[in-house]
């Protein structure tokens, strides 16, 4: 009995002690990623940072993304290689600008007249099969996972000189995307490739005559409307095609619940950009006071649209994959043209 009483007393004291001393929980260090966007710091606040902020808040300390803007870690043209090598963990860019060594890279950014509005991009990827083609292309390249594509603004001209006819394009030195520059060169445009953050100063110093890089929302947001004078209402593409990528190994190692969180935040950021761009384009055309609107007559601009058809066929002839993508654009545009307003102009 004595031994039993001693045992109970000792056990009770030990139990009380364990209740009094809270367990020490060691929090696991957060998963840290570095992400670089194609956008400069001012534009990046709207097109990439909302996604990063959403992940960092919702991950509850399990994951933290550090955002870097255009050219801060590597030049934009080296983004794919840096992502593949693990120098950075995630990228927001178009395939064209980051020189992705995949056949579909030519369609990233602004492929001439492939789209008419921002919502065309998710429709093409989700309903017409582009997502499967992109996913397969990056799987073959290795080291990089393609996650999602989304649309942004149309590609217009903002310039120091007015553009009221095709002849006004002759000799214009414009900051633009690789494929867009390749297409516009036939009309006398001189494509200039410089770091994103240098474009504004290049206009001020006379190195550039303007940009064929964005819609009017970006012109006002990043300060380009302060150094150029005219905005041409004709565009060579209705929406930028940009994508989100991750390093293959880092994505594979990410827990499933964080992958789901990452994708949800990314899709939400697409929705934000849809309204930000769509509303901004309309408002600034209607009430913006910094840029005078100019237009090339439709009959004359039709020459550019006809040239795009030839350009599509030239690209399609380069490979089976490119031909498949071009056919999807043709099929989609046939539907749009037949559907009438508001999908097409008539």
Tell me how far apart the alpha carbons of residues 131 and 208 are, in angstroms, rounded to a whole number.
36
CATH architecture for residues 155-238+288-339: 3-Layer(aba) Sandwich (3.40)
CATH of domain 31-152+239-287: 3.40.190.170
Q: Do domains 31-152+239-287 and 155-238+288-339 have the same CATH topology?
A: yes
Q: Which residues share a beta bridge with 176?
A: 212
Residue extents of the structural domains in the chain: 31-152+239-287, 155-238+288-339
pLDDT digits (tens, 9 = 90+) for 259-282: 999 999 999 999 999 999 999 999
* 3 state SS of 161: coil
Dump pLDDT digits (tens) for 282-334: 999 999 999 999 999 999 999 999 999 999 999 999 999 999 999 999 999 99
58-104 pLDDT per residue, tens: 999 999 999 999 999 999 999 999 999 999 999 999 999 999 999 99
Which contacts qualify for 7-10: CB closer than 8 Å, 24 or more apart?
none
Q: Which of 158, 291, 174, 173 has the alpha carbon at shortest distance from 234?
A: 158
DSSP-derived 3-state class of residue 25: coil
Strands 63-68 and 210-214: unpaired
Coil/strand/helix, residue 36: strand
The answer to whether the pTM exceeds 0.95 is no
């Amino acid at each position: 009995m004595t031994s039993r009483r001693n045992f109970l007393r000792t056990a009770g004291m030990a139990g009380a002690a364990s209740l009094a001393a809270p367990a020490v929980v060691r929090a696991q260090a957060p998963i840290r990623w570095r992400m670089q966007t194609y956008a400069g710091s001012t534009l990046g606040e709207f097109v990439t940072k909302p996604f990063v902020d959403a992940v960092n808040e919702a991950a509850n300390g399990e994951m933290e993304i550090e955002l870097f803007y255009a050219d801060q870690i590597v030049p934009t043209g080296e983004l794919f290689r840096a992502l593949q090598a693990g120098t950075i963990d995630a990228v927001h860019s178009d395939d064209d600008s980051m020189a992705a060594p995949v056949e579909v890279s030519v369609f990233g950014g602004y492929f001439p007249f492939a789209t008419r509005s921002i919502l065309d991009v998710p429709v093409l990827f989700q309903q017409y099969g582009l997502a499967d083609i992109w996913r397969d292309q990056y799987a073959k390249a290795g080291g990089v996972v393609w996650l999602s594509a989304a649309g942004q603004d149309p590609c217009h001209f903002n310039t120091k000189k007015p553009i009221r006819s095709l002849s006004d394009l002759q000799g214009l030195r414009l900051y633009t995307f690789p494929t867009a520059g390749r297409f516009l060169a036939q009309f006398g445009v001189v494509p200039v490739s410089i770091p994103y953050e240098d474009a504004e100063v290049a206009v001020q110093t006379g190195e550039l005559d303007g940009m064929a890089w964005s819609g009017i929302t970006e012109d006002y947001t990043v300060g380009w409307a302060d150094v150029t004078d005219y905005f041409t209402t004709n565009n060579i593409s209705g929406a930028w095609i940009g994508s989100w990528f991750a390093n293959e190994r880092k994505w594979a190692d990410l827990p499933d619940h964080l992958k789901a969180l990452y994708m949800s935040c990314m899709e939400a950021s697409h929705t934000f950009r849809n309204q930000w761009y769509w509303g901004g384009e309309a408002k600034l055309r209607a009430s913006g006071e910094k840029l005078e609107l100019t237009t090339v007559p439709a009959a004359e601009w039709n020459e550019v649209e006809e040239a795009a058809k030839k350009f599509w066929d030239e690209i399609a002839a380069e490979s089976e994959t490119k031909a498949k993508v071009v056919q999807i654009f043709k099929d989609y545009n046939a539907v749009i043209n037949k559907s009438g307003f508001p999908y097409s102009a008539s």
